[in-house]
Amino acid sequence: MSVATHTTDRRLFRRTAERFTAGAKTLPQRYFVSPEVFAEEQKKIFSKHWLLIGHQSQIAKAGDYFVAEVGDESLIIARDQRSTIRGFYNVCRHRGTRLKEGTCGHASAIQCPYHAWTYGLDGRLIRAPHMDEVQGFDKADYSLHPVNLGLFEGFIFVNLADDPMPLEEWFAPLAGKFSHWNMSILRSAKRIEYDVRANWKLIFENYSECYHCPGVHPALSKLTPYDSAENDLCEGPFLGGFMSINKGKSLTMSGNACALGVNGIADPGRAHDRDRVFYYSIFPNMLLSMHPDYVMVHQLWPQSPKRTLIMCDWFFHPKAFERPDFQSEDAIEFWDMTNKQDWHVCALSQQGIASRAYQPGPYSPRESIPAAWDQEYLRVMGQV
């Protein structure tokens, strides 16, 4: 990138930031504390949008499955005998019994624990004891109810709506954007679950700016300048960009790379990515952080107006696991520390916003992405 082009991009970034933050303020109190607003979010957002529930590496072999809780629904996500990934409501077609109780496993079929109705991993009813004695009964009429499911860069998404926008159409603005990161082949080294006493929107807003980094994240700020952000997605459901990493460093406890590179930065045209970390929020429940040597992904699951369950995975190139220099804990420990710092200030924000003294405050020019996120949220809620 030439100096002239870089300068132009920075000017564009500043103009975009000014456009979104001019006169913008944080959301009113009701959006963070109201049970009525929370219920409306579940209806308008989490029951109608594509939601991240996992990665295809979780079900690597035919017969592997996991159970996902999406709002009030339980879903079975399985890889069938033809290696097709499928999703079904965790409900028997006989008398509605929950089919799977565990979180994950391996099976050749799905059998109801109540009356032993048995389903193939493609959802077909293959055995129903004594139902051949029922006149007109046809097993073909009682397959498991499927859930809308799709894959994006190896990540599994579901949508509870009756007739949602196709996943490919929803992600069309991102088509090919992340392909060189090879995310479809990555494997998770660890998952940590966090129970955060804060509204889910505060998590998104916190993730989307580094205005807070010098005071909240001293270790992070030593490795990546807090004022180095350049965003290329500035409005709509997909937001974010990159921040610089000090040359030759990585976001780990040691400051050194902890694994084999995950992306295509060996390509001379992408050499600049060796010293960048990319942060993108994907509405409404995915935070995607792409580092040169690993990818970190957060799933957000709102539990109440004041509580959010967060699942964080660290993904690495499969060949990295075989190398003697693989130090996944170097990255995991660093971000576990940083995550907890974020969750603490988000909880403090939740406590303060609940006060009768709270009033919406102005966004700074360094908070253009949170301001843009608020606008997308209000648009989806039908309030702009």
pLDDT tens column, 94-126: 999 999 998 999 999 999 999 999 999 999 999
Answer whether 240's CB lies under 8 Å from 178's CB: no
What does the mean pLDDT of the chain come to? 93
CATH label of the domain that carries residue 65:
2.102.10.10
Q: Helix count (H) and strand count (E) of the chain?
A: 9, 17
Determine, yes or no, domain membership for 266: yes
Query: Both tokens of residue 41?
Result: 């979010």
Residue 64, number of CB atoms within 10 A of its CB: 19
Same domain, 55 and 19: no
Q: Are residues 95 and 62 in the same domain?
A: yes
Q: Are strands 148-152 and 125-127 parallel, antiparallel or unpaired?
A: unpaired
Of 286, 11, 301, 314, the closest CA to residue 152 belongs to 286
Ordered per-residue pLDDT tens for the chain, 384 residues: 444 444 445 555 555 555 666 789 999 999 999 999 999 999 999 999 999 999 999 999 999 999 999 999 999 999 999 999 999 999 999 999 999 998 999 999 999 999 999 999 999 999 999 999 999 999 999 999 999 999 999 999 999 999 999 999 999 999 999 999 999 999 999 999 999 999 999 999 999 999 999 999 999 999 999 999 999 999 999 999 999 999 999 999 999 999 999 876 555 556 677 899 999 999 999 999 999 999 999 999 999 999 999 999 999 999 999 999 999 999 999 999 999 999 999 999 999 999 999 999 999 999 999 999 999 999 999 998
**What is each CA distance from 15 to 226, 239, 341, in whole angstroms?**
19, 16, 31
User: What does the block give as tokens for 161?
Assistant: 């709506």
Residue 280 resides in a domain: yes
Whether 87 and 216 share a structural domain: no
Instruction: Report if residue 176 sits inside a domain.
Output: no
Tokens 């060796």 found at: 274
How many distinct structural domains can be found in the chain?
2
pLDDT score recorded for residue 349: 98
Q: What amino acid occupies position 359?
A: Q
Residues 266 and 296 in one domain: yes
Amino acid at 369: I
Range of the domain at 136: 51-169
Q: Are 168 and 182 in contact (CB under 8 A)?
A: no
Whole-number Å distance between alpha carbons of 361 and 99: 48
d(CA 189, CA 202): 27
**Beta strand segments in 170-323, E:** 187-196, 230-233, 238-244, 276-282, 286-290, 295-304, 307-316
Residues 56 and 195 placed together within one structural domain of the fold? no
> Do residue 252 and residue 152 come from a single domain?
no
Q: Are residues 85 and 137 in the same domain?
A: yes
For residues 257 and 300, membership in a common domain is answered with: yes
User: Pairing mode, if any, of strands 307-316 and 187-196?
Assistant: antiparallel
* Residue 174 belongs to a domain: no
Q: Give the pLDDT score at 158.
A: 98
170-224 pLDDT, tens digit per residue, is: 999 999 999 999 999 999 999 999 999 999 999 999 999 999 999 999 999 999 9
Q: Which of 138, 169, 200 is the last residue of a domain?
A: 169
Residues 232 and 288 grouped into a single domain: yes
